[in-house]
């Protein structure tokens, strides 16, 4: 029930407008119900408020006249939907936006064959799978120390690589796609939550430029995503810019920000946007970054203390599952 906060806000607001201006019977129960709905509206609005332009940006925007000329890094991430066979639309978007690096999720061998036709992407990490969890990284920039990991489930990969932005500067890139809590997948969110927590812990003391991206199968304001940010110390460039709802592309009334980009304090945002439909149930997400030194960058906030109760609950659930 973390997902539909925006939908709850809209329905609550419409109900209150009807209660205020509609033709209905009054009475104490109606008033009490209106107070309850108003409380729900306030609570849910507070959850999504940071992901509006009314909130202060967590990652600063890059201003050429202020920040000077910097190296840039443009990334495109897309869950292609394995059964989607409209590769032309995605390839056209990649050619048009010309990212330095693009990441695909749910990409199988068929998708790999289509992506291999793109020119200029001389470096790649490929993990084609036919179980909806294949993953590929293609890059114009050299990739180093690339590795495919199966940290929690032996059929759900994650990828690590280091992008050589120039001869002296490398950016750590982590791509993840944990399984959702859903029928035919996992009865609970334990596997997803554990993968995010393990990744967050590995990044907690890292002072290198770092990007985490992928389909987390979780919304930005959920307790698990917030815990990931608290432990890792990474920043969310959507805060102060917008929700960028990437799923479900097929249903305008039920969309959530499931595709994420988290950044260390080494970047400023040049541009961020959701790209048009390309046949998948996800929209592609594009972000262009200026690569800063951390001392030059004033982006960032002090995250709240780690929710140890939530963390203990996740880890205890894992132990219980392993003992079953």
Phi and psi at residue 105, to the nearest 5°? -120, 155
H or E element in which residue 234 lies: none
Higher-confidence position of 194 and 125: 125
Rounded average pLDDT over 104-123: 98
What is the signed CA dihedral for 290, 57, 105, 170, rounded to 10 degrees?
Answer: 30
pLDDT of residue 83: 97
Taking the alpha carbons at both ends of the chain, their separation in whole angstroms is 27
- Per the CB < 8 A criterion, the answer to whether 88 and 77 are in contact is no
pLDDT of residue 321: 47
pLDDT of residue 319: 46
Q: Domain ranges in the chain?
A: 5-51, 64-291
CA 171 to chain centre: 18
Lowest mean pLDDT among 63-67, 241-245, 298-302: 298-302
Q: Does the structural domain 64-291 have CATH classification 3.60.10.10? A: yes
Residues 40-98 have pLDDT tens digits of 999 999 999 999 999 999 999 998 877 788 999 999 999 999 999 999 999 999 999 99
- Per-residue pLDDT band at 102 (split at 50, 70, 90): very high
Asked whether residue 300 carries a pLDDT value surpassing 80, the answer given is no
Question: Residues with Cβ < 8 Å from 39, sequence gap 6 or more?
Answer: none
- ∠ CA 99-103-101, nearest 5°, is 30
pLDDT of residue 322: 46
- Per the CB < 8 A criterion, the answer to whether 110 and 130 are in contact is no
Residues 10-29 have pLDDT tens digits of 999 999 998 888 766 668 88
Higher-confidence position of 64 and 39: 39
| Other C-beta atoms lying within 10 Å of the C-beta of residue 257 | 25
| 247 DSSP assignment | B
Select from 90, 73, 137, 116 the least CA-distant residue to 283: 90
What is the DSSP track for 75-141? EEEEE--TT---HHHHHHHHHHH--SEEEEES--HHHHHHHTT-SS--EEEEE--SSS--EEEEESS
């Amino acid at each position: 029930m973390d997902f539909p906060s925006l939908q709850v806000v809209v329905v609550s607001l419409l109900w209150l407008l009807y209660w205020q201006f509609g033709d209905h019977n009054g009475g104490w129960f109606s008033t009490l119900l209106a107070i309850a709905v108003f409380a729900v509206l306030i609570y849910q609005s507070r959850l999504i408020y940071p992901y509006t332009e009314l909130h202060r940006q967590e990652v600063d925007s890059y201003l050429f006249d202020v920040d000077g000329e910097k190296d840039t890094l443009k990334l495109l991430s897309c869950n292609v939907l394995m059964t989607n066979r409209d590769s032309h639309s995605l390839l056209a978007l990649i050619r048009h936006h010309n990212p330095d690096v693009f990441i695909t999720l749910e990409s199988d061998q068929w998708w790999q064959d289509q992506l291999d036709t793109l020119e200029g992407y001389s470096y790649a990490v490929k993990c084609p799978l036919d179980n909806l969890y294949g993953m590929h990284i293609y890059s114009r920039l050299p990739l180093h120390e690339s590795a495919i990991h199966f940290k929690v489930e032996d059929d759900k990969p994650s990828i690590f690589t280091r992008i050589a932005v120039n001869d002296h500067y490398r950016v750590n890139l982590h791509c993840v796609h944990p399984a959702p809590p859903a029928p035919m997948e996992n009865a609970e969110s334990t596997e997803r939550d554990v993968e995010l927590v393990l990744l967050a812990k590995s990044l907690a003391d890292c002072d290198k430029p770092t990007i985490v991206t992928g389909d987390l199968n979780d919304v930005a304001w959920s307790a698990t995503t917030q815990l990931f940010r608290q432990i890792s110390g990474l920043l969310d460039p959507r805060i102060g810019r917008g929700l960028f709802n990437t799923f479900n592309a097929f249903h305008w009334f039920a969309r959530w920000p499931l595709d994420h980009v988290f950044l260390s304090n080494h970047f400023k945002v040049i541009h961020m946007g959701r790209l048009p439909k390309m046949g998948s149930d996800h929209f592609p997400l594009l972000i262009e970054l200026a690569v800063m030194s951390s001392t030059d960058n004033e982006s960032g906030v002090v995250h709240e203390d780690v929710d140890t109760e939530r963390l203990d609950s996740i880890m205890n659930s894992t132990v219980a599952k392993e003992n079953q």
